[in-house]
Amino acid sequence: MRILSPFSNPSEVAPLIQAGADELYCGVVPGEWEKRFTFIGSVNLRHDRLANLPSFKELEEAVKIAGPHQVPVFVAFNAHFYSRAQCPAVLKQVEQALSAGAESLIISDPALITAVKEKFPDAHVSLSTAQPCFNSQSLRFFKRLGAERVVLPRHLSVQEITGLAREAKKLQIELECFVMNVICPFIDGLCTFQHIVEPSQQLAVQPLACRVAYDIEVTGSEKPEKKAVAGAHVRIWNDAYSSDCGLCALQSFAKAGVASVKIAGRAHSLEKKIADVAAVKKAVFLAKKIPPARFREECGKLYFDLFHKTCQCINCYYPSAGKWKQ
């Protein structure tokens, strides 16, 4: 099981590989794209400079650093869709990414997958979580479309992932699951929130629209106490953004045959990225060596070392895999 780490500067590549990253991913927003479409129309769903490389020259530099270590670099083109005016520019960027040595393209728009496979038939495509794959029929569809790997939606349970892994093995398609940072209460591919509230030239990382305080009204036929719990659950997401973890699921993922686990956070500091990679690397190692109960204890210790607090259910990617199992 490989570890996929984010990076946003070529200088981060070597330290992340040294920390234990087996794969790397990034986004690129060149100056000509920014000038024409702005960061609001980001090519990869990240609307801030700090999360992206500024040109394909930096991507080529990163690939050259990673190459001798046999660490592949993936490039995100995972906006939900592209306008007719954007499509030629996106395909040009795809060509630049492949020419720079990118191993795989992370894509969500089915139309772009089709166009890429027609123009670059040998290109490796990972289906982004921004195009959610919920079931075995979805796996088959995106396999036929040309995806070799699927990044599963954040909200799926370990049991659901295990079931999909059995089908993925038959289809010879890889699965990738999130393991660290940025849990969201919404399903990426069905979310209509813009990731930014109001673009700011002063802020390196733009504020997220879905993190703005808003009122909640829960409707339905459930009992009042259940509706109160549901409303409270949504309200506390504002406090759950920066300390999310799925380490306890690694034993289940390894057994199921999940190919890679993904660390989110392209805009995080290098120090944070290194700490995340090192923690996941240690957890992957321990998952092979110790029984489940002790493994969950060790994951709790790793979590405390990372976030300086004990884990809470709201921060858990896969509650059924850890101490939150019902």
**In the predicted model, what is the mean pLDDT of residues 87-95?**
95
Asked whether residue 233 is domain-assigned, the answer is no
pLDDT per position as a tens digit, 194-223: 566 555 555 555 566 666 666 778 888 888
Asked whether residue 217 is domain-assigned, the answer is no
- Lowest-confidence region among 21-30, 44-53, 181-190: 181-190
**In the predicted model, what is the mean pLDDT of residues 285-300?**
94
pLDDT of residue 237: 63
Question: What is the 3-class SS of the chain, one letter each residue?
Answer: CEEEEECCCHHHHHHHHHHCCCEEEECECCHHHHHHHCHHHCCCCCCCHHHCECCHHHHHHHHHHHHHHCCCEEEEECCCCCCCCCHHHHHHHHHHHHHCCCCEEEECCHHHHHHHHHHCCCCCEEECCCCCCCCHHHHHHHHHHCCCEEECCCCCCHHHHHHHHHHHHHHCCEEEEEEECCCCCCCHHHCCCCCCCCCCCCCCCCCCHHHCCCCCCCCCCCCHHHHHHHHHHHHHHHHCCCCCECHHHHHHHHHHCCCEEEECCCCCCHHHHHHHHHHHHHHHHHHCCCCHHHHHHHHHHHHHHHHCCCCCHHHECCHHHCCCCC
- Lowest-confidence region among 3-17, 201-215, 309-323: 201-215
Asked whether residue 126 is domain-assigned, the answer is yes
Asked whether residue 221 is domain-assigned, the answer is no
pLDDT per position as a tens digit, 108-142: 999 999 999 999 999 999 999 989 899 999 999 99
pLDDT of residue 235: 67
Asked whether residue 260 is domain-assigned, the answer is yes
Asked whether residue 120 is domain-assigned, the answer is yes
pLDDT of residue 36: 87
Asked whether residue 326 is domain-assigned, the answer is no
Reported confidence tier of residue 94, pLDDT bands at 50, 70, 90: very high
Both structure tokens of 21: 């990253």
pLDDT of residue 5: 97
pLDDT of residue 206: 56
| Mean pLDDT of all residues belonging to the chain | 88
Per cent of the chain over pLDDT 90 is 63
Q: Which residues pair with 4 in a beta bridge?
A: 23, 262
The CATH number of the domain holding residue 35 is 3.20.20.380
Residue 238 CB neighbours (<10 A): 12
Reported confidence tier of residue 10, pLDDT bands at 50, 70, 90: very high
Q: Whole domain around residue 67: which residue ranges?
A: 2-199+241-321
Asked whether residue 67 is domain-assigned, the answer is yes
Cβ atoms 210, 191 nearer than 8 A: yes
Distances (CA, A) of 244 to 84, 247, 311: 37, 10, 8
Per cent of the chain over pLDDT 70 is 88
Domain count, the chain: 1
- Lowest-confidence region among 29-33, 36-40, 208-212, 284-288: 208-212
- Give the C-alpha separation, 129 to 155, whole Å: 10
**In the predicted model, what is the mean pLDDT of residues 97-109?**
96
